Structure 1
Amino acid sequence: MTCAPASLRTSTDLLRDRAGAVSPAATLSEVFSTTVIDGAATGFALAHLSPGRGPVLWVQDRLSRRECGIPYMAGLPAGMDVLRVDVSRPVDVLWAVEQGLGCPSLGGVIAEIWGDPPVLDFTATKRLALRAEAHAVPCWLLRRAAEPALSGARERWRVSSLPSANAPCDARAPGRPHWRVELFRSRFRAPATWVAQYDHARHHMSLDHPIALRGEPDGTALSATG
């Protein structure tokens, strides 16, 4: 894989928001699945990556492949190319992801690590976050059968599936996917919970249905575009 210089594919506004902090589009985000076989976490991460920006490096450990399967390429957004890397151990996932994050020509990195291996500690996640930000490559770490221990991830989410919307032409058929998404820790915005809706045709995800949290007011409506 040939890596182009960061200056050829990124700009300062990709890395920085108005407050001067690193944008969540180019950092490490963790997604926890409330049910280990729920595909919502995978769909949520993919909805944040832009097809055509560059290939996506997708790294899985052995247990993730065994319990959740491999990506179904025909179901990916149009124009999204994937480079799959299959490894056995979580430590190998971390090594492969760190190498990939050093390649600015990638459109993003998705890593799947099963459970809570000791190697996935604060130091390891902080290294990934800093490397993603240095090269403007977004990294999504999918966590199943895991607990949200101390982490260097800049944003941490819990995602689960909800009943989909009805199809426009057939009320008995499934339509756009709906997810319950909870941002429970972030360096960039206030934690909140939403119902997310994903439009596959436009590759657009909207977080426009805030859910009230215990003892807290509703969050502000947000939108995220892939």
Structure 2
Amino acid sequence: MSGARTNTLATLRGRIERIEAHGDAYAPNKVPLGHAGADATLRGGLALAAVHEVFSEGHQSAAATGFIAGLAGRITARRPLVWVRQDFSDIESGALSMSGFSELGLDPHLLVTVRAADADSALRTAADALACDALGLVVLEVWGEARQLDLVASRKLTLAAQASGVTALLLRLAATPQPSTAETRWIVRAAHSPPGNPWHAWGAPVFDAQLVRNRHGPVGRWIMEWKCDECLFFEPAAYPQPVAAAPAHRPHQAHDGELQRRAG
């Protein structure tokens, strides 16, 4: 029995080594994000037909979701996108807004949302979707510490993405990063938006994006502004601080105050 177990263990180790060797030699196509610093670190952009993880901290789920939407806009502009999330996600982080996706530059008509009963169902649904090469992207959104998303599950998703050519984005909310075969891992926070035009109620989406894992290169951290019209990430320009102008209808008060100061 001990000999059989040894042979089985050796066989499994050999398979894992071949999988890892294949992953290291795998040279995927890449899509540039638009941000010069991030693209340089990623050696040309985000790898397609791979798995990427995006984590949020604290109450940053909206920022992480917006960052995922930006990545989706870069990866699949005209192909269907499947977004898998647990059925209680609407309570925890809010419902996905189709009008919001449209404002970010995505076509809601190409978005298919799937509500799974639990993490197991969500994982199976995402794996099945990754096998469909007609899709452009699969987003798997999982809330909390899901034991199902272990190293074995991550490797299966990676192999499925490589086989079909469909990219997978894992959105992890209220979770701690664990070992995985993901090509990249990001921690995303909201950053201050620059002042927009007077007729806009808010500025452009800006993210504090920290790349904490890069299988084939260094890591980094950048402030990335999402340009909805261009569907690109940019480095935010330096915006001067707004200064209140003097009231145009009361110039005499400033003049009178200056005279009083001189007299005193």
TM range (shorter): 0.7 to 0.9
Distance 1:43 1:84 in 2: 16
Runs of 4+ in 1 over 6 A off after TM superposition: none
User: Aligned pair 1:175/2:199, yes or no?
Assistant: no
1:194 to 209, 216, 222: 222
Change in Cα spacing, 1:201 to 1:128, as seen in structure 2 (3 Å) is same
Contact 1:41 1:160 in 2 (8 A): yes
Contact 1:36 1:144 in 2 (8 A): no
Change in Cα spacing, 1:73 to 1:116, as seen in structure 2 (3 Å) is same
Q: For structure 1, list consecutive stretches of 5 or more residues without a partner in the other structure.
A: 1-13, 18-22, 210-226
The percent identity for this pair of structures is: 29
1:46 to 43, 64, 69: 69
Distance 2:78 2:218 in 1: 28
Matched AA of 2:148: V
1:37, CA displacement in angstroms? 5.0
1:1-226 to structure 2, matched below 5 A, reads: 15-16=28-29, 24-50=47-73, 51-76=76-101, 77-80=105-108, 81-169=110-198, 173-206=201-234
Contact 2:60 2:190 in 1 (8 A): no
Distance 2:106 2:175 in 1: 31
Q: For structure 2, list consecutive stretches of 5 or more residues without a partner in the other structure.
A: 1-26, 31-45, 238-264
- 1:28-80 Cα shifts (integer Å, max 9, x gaps): 11100012453111111111224543111010113423201221011112435
1:87, CA displacement in angstroms? 0.9
| Paired residue secondary structure (1:147) | coil
Q: Which structure carries more strand by proportion? A: 1
| Paired residue secondary structure (2:212) | strand
**CA-atom RMSD in angstroms:** 2.5
Contact 2:61 2:173 in 1 (8 A): no
Matched AA of 2:177: P
Distance 2:143 2:97 in 1: 19
Change in Cα spacing, 1:69 to 1:180, as seen in structure 2 (3 Å) is same
| Paired residue secondary structure (2:189) | strand
1:207, CA displacement in angstroms? 5.0
Q: Which structure carries more helix by proportion? A: 2
Distance 2:217 2:190 in 1: 23
- 1:173-219 Cα shifts (integer Å, max 9, x gaps): 4211111000000113310000010011121112579xxxxxxxxxx
Contact 1:179 1:196 in 2 (8 A): yes
Which has the larger Rg?
2
Contact 2:60 2:188 in 1 (8 A): no
Contact 1:38 1:161 in 2 (8 A): no
Which stretch shows the higher mean deviation, 173-182 or 193-202? 173-182
Number of positions where the alignment pairs a residue of Structure 1 with one of Structure 2: 193
